[in-house]
Structure 1
Amino acid sequence: MPKVIAQIYPSLGGTSEMSRHRPIGRDPYAFHTVMHGLRQIAQAMDELGYWGLSHVEHHFHSEGVEVSPDPGLWNLYLGQYTKRLRHGQFGYVLPARDPLRLAEEIAMIDHMLEGRLFVGVARGYQSRWVDVLGQRIGVRASSPGDRAGERRNKELFFEHFRIMKLAWEKDLLQYRSRHYEVPFPFESGIADWPAAGLTREFGVPGEVDDDGALRGVSVVPSPFQDPHPPLFQPFSQSRTTVAWAARNGLIPITTFAPIETAGWFAGLYRDEAARAGRDYALGQNMGLVRSFSIHRSRSAAQDAIERYEMLAWREWYGSFGHLGGFRFPGEEGQVPRPGEDVAARLQQVGLIIGGTVDDVKRQLDVQLSAVPFEYLVWHLPYAVMPLGETLDQLELFAHEVMPEFGMTPPEPPRLRVPESSRERPETRASEG
């Protein structure tokens, strides 16, 4: 019974809109129109019983392909119009962000959505913006061709993740590495804290020493969810990343792969998680990315694939070399092969599932029977796909496909209340 998440970037339109509104990424009317369309989509998904809606973090997209410079704001905005739907990002690019500021931001959004937040973390592969925003700390986009830059990107990704988690889990954070110190400076602490008396009395024990120096920080608030929102690692297609996610309790989302390869990663994840003391069945705590095109006829579905999916897959992801993952186990050489149609290859590997309702159910059943992934992430190309058709696709999938696989709406989360908070009213009453 997979939980269905729609991944919407969003884009601001297709090539015709891009040419009419150049640069469409800076067109306020285009953005405002898409923003209101996303609100309708979120409301429809909430009513139809979807589990979640997610976005990416990308900056400076003048072309209008992935206009989502702050996915947390998308989560907060759209979450005000839904009741059960969860909101998140696939994902925040950790190397280019300060981990404590991000921990604070996520905790606040988690409260404002009353626990309907999930969090994805990524390394960042687009040099246009990662290199610009990361210049102050010397981080660059993930690039296997740049060994020094790749090493630093990985180091900061893993370290910022560790710091962010510690900030949520510990009342008093103390941390020291060659990249980051809390407090700063770590050795001497922050001397002569003016409010030492108040902090010593009401802050975290040990936050201020006997000399009035700060010896740690308390990141506030703690998240609504205990100890933090669900953590995802999108989009995983490397052995190292999946193994790391398994050891650290993240939910990896496999992508750019046929079900046979995704199944191999699922086995790796299960085995690595078991070594870390986490007992998962095959596919549990993992997700699978797929696109869907559901129509009256196969020809209509094929036409929609060409019109709405290929701008991203052929012209964008292909430019970054992501098409090479569309490979069956044991297959070698260039993929797609010279002259091979990208849309056909996507459907051959099962990354795009299209056709009539019966076709879609049959193709999806084959994949989920092979590996029963807990999460199914729908790569949904709004607003290259117009709003009306996007809503129609969501409704068709919810009414015709989801019941077949037992996909049910999520239950709302509950606020965790510390023991001290439970006791406080009673204590006050006795004092009165």
Structure 2
Amino acid sequence: MKASLFYLPSIGSRAEIEAGMAGMRPDLYQRMLKELSEQIRLGDELGYDSVSFTEHHFHIEGFELSNNPVLLDLYFAMQTKRIRVGQLGIVLPASNPIRVAEDIAMLDHMTNGRACAGFARGYQRRWVDVMAQQTHGIHGALPNQHDEIDNANRLAFEENFRIVKKCWTEEMLTFDGKFWKIPAGPTPWTLDTTEKWGKGVENGILKAVGVVPKPLQKPHPPLFQPFASSENTVRFCAREGITPILPPMHPFHEDKLYSVYSEVSGKPKGQGVGVLRDVIIADTDEQAMALWRDSGQFSGRAWFEPFGFRKGMQDPKTGEFPTAEQIIAQGYAFVGTVDTVLRAMETQQRRQPVDWVFCYTYNSLVPHDLLMKSIDRFWTDVMSRFH
């Protein structure tokens, strides 16, 4: 099993966020960068396999200040030696796929082949609708949403993904899709230099473009998709060789998705799959639970539950949700002492072995010094049993 530090970078503590408009404070952003640098350098020294960041915009509230994950990747790669850097993920329906392909290929070269590539569909309408407005009809789509908005978002995501892969793997790019046409139409290009030393022109008209640079890793960096919770998404990942990262889900839903991925990919059940887990290790279970209340549970209720992310844990027969203690005991969160977390992780792996665990760290919401200890303990005392 491999482990990744996962950041939806928070800019302040619970009290600082509850004071209002934390995202506007440059002092908090500077502190966040300093603390993340120390945490990621520690992860690099310990042996964590990767670190990854989400993409979100306009987060004045202070949650998830990560509007450019590739830029964060490069910033932290310049401070480390071996840890891989990636995105969970770039929201493709709101992006220019050629720019995405170029940016990740540049990152791959600048990190000497340490880049990972992660792509998401985008669910927050406040920013997806603004940033994707030039792709007509594309909006944010909530988890478990199955309607015209969801369908348009999925079509745009899959088309952009195909373009990104073609940019990386084909010398010259042409594309004729619903949202993108490359070239865009009859484009005159009569440059002698292209005629002598380039490619893609016939009778003075552009017929194809060459996207450069190509990635250093061949055929491209490893691919990931957060946070897969639908059968359609998991099937797509299995067909495309993408590692889906599953959020905590009731076994009824979870088992179905593992089975679908295995059926389509031809891999043993759980192979090629990752899970997202809250990770907080402290001296006592009580201390860890207190930290979790002000981090994972606080941000979950304030920010993620309104978008429907908790529904996957609901028992489809009884309608009940597990308690915090049950979540830990069943291995859906790694919160407690080293022994408690070891038991939780063993429970998770017995129920469904996976290749990756993405450790949601709750920076800033968990005090920096305690989070540094938690990162150390998880790798040294827990992952040493599984890595």
TM-score > 0.5 by shorter chain: yes
Opposite residue 153 of structure 2, the aligned amino acid is: N
Percent of pairs identical after alignment? 33
Which string of whole-angstrom CA distances, capped at 9 and with x for unpartnered residues, describes residues 331-384 of structure 1? 335453xxx75x345435532122221121122112113322111111111111
Opposite residue 101 of structure 1, the aligned amino acid is: R
- Aligned equivalent of 1:281: 268
Do 1:256 and 1:322's aligned partners in 2 also have CA atoms closer than 8 Å?
Answer: no
- Aligned equivalent of 1:318: 305
Opposite residue 67 of structure 1, the aligned amino acid is: L
Are 1:267 and 2:264 matched, yes or no? no
Selected match of 2:236 from 244, 256, 274: 244
Distance (whole Å) between structure 2 residues aligned to residue 180 and residue 333 of structure 1: 46
Selected match of 2:314 from 327, 347, 351: 327
SS of residue in 1 equivalent to 2:85: strand
- Mind listing any 5+ residue stretches in structure 1 that lack a counterpart? 275-279, 408-432
Cα displacement (A) at 1:160: 0.5
Distance (whole Å) between structure 1 residues aligned to residue 294 and residue 148 of structure 2: 40
Task: Tell me how many residue pairs correspond in the alignment.
Answer: 385
- Aligned equivalent of 2:212: 220
Cα displacement (A) at 1:317: 1.0
- Aligned equivalent of 1:162: 162
- Aligned equivalent of 1:383: 364
SS of residue in 2 equivalent to 1:117: coil
Do 2:280 and 2:371's aligned partners in 1 also have CA atoms closer than 8 Å?
Answer: no
Distance (whole Å) between structure 2 residues aligned to residue 307 and residue 98 of structure 1: 37
Distance (whole Å) between structure 2 residues aligned to residue 147 and residue 257 of structure 1: 22
5 Å-filtered alignment, 1:15-414, equals: 15-20=14-19, 22-138=20-136, 139-143=138-142, 147-185=147-185, 189-191=186-188, 193-195=189-191, 197-204=192-199, 207-209=200-202, 211-258=203-250, 261-274=253-266, 280-328=267-315, 331-332=316-317, 334-336=319-321, 343-344=324-325, 346-347=327-328, 349-405=330-386, 407=387
Q: 1:313 to 1:335 in 2, by over 3 A?
A: farther
Opposite residue 193 of structure 2, the aligned amino acid is: L
Do 1:326 and 1:349's aligned partners in 2 also have CA atoms closer than 8 Å?
Answer: no
Cα displacement (A) at 1:85: 0.4
TM-score normalised to structure 1 length: 0.85
Between Structure 1 and Structure 2, whose CA radius of gyration is higher? 1
- Which one is further off, 287-296 or 32-41? 287-296
- Mind listing any 5+ residue stretches in structure 2 that lack a counterpart? none
Q: 1:109 to 1:332 in 2, by over 3 A?
A: same
Distance (whole Å) between structure 2 residues aligned to residue 260 and residue 373 of structure 1: 17
Cα displacement (A) at 1:288: 1.1
Do 2:56 and 2:67's aligned partners in 1 also have CA atoms closer than 8 Å?
Answer: yes
Distance (whole Å) between structure 2 residues aligned to residue 159 and residue 37 of structure 1: 37
Opposite residue 202 of structure 1, the aligned amino acid is: W
Distance (whole Å) between structure 1 residues aligned to residue 103 and residue 173 of structure 2: 17
Q: 1:258 to 1:19 in 2, by over 3 A?
A: closer
Opposite residue 194 of structure 1, the aligned amino acid is: T
SS of residue in 1 equivalent to 2:227: strand
Which string of whole-angstrom CA distances, capped at 9 and with x for unpartnered residues, describes residues 5-45 of structure 1? 1111100123311244x311011110011011111111000
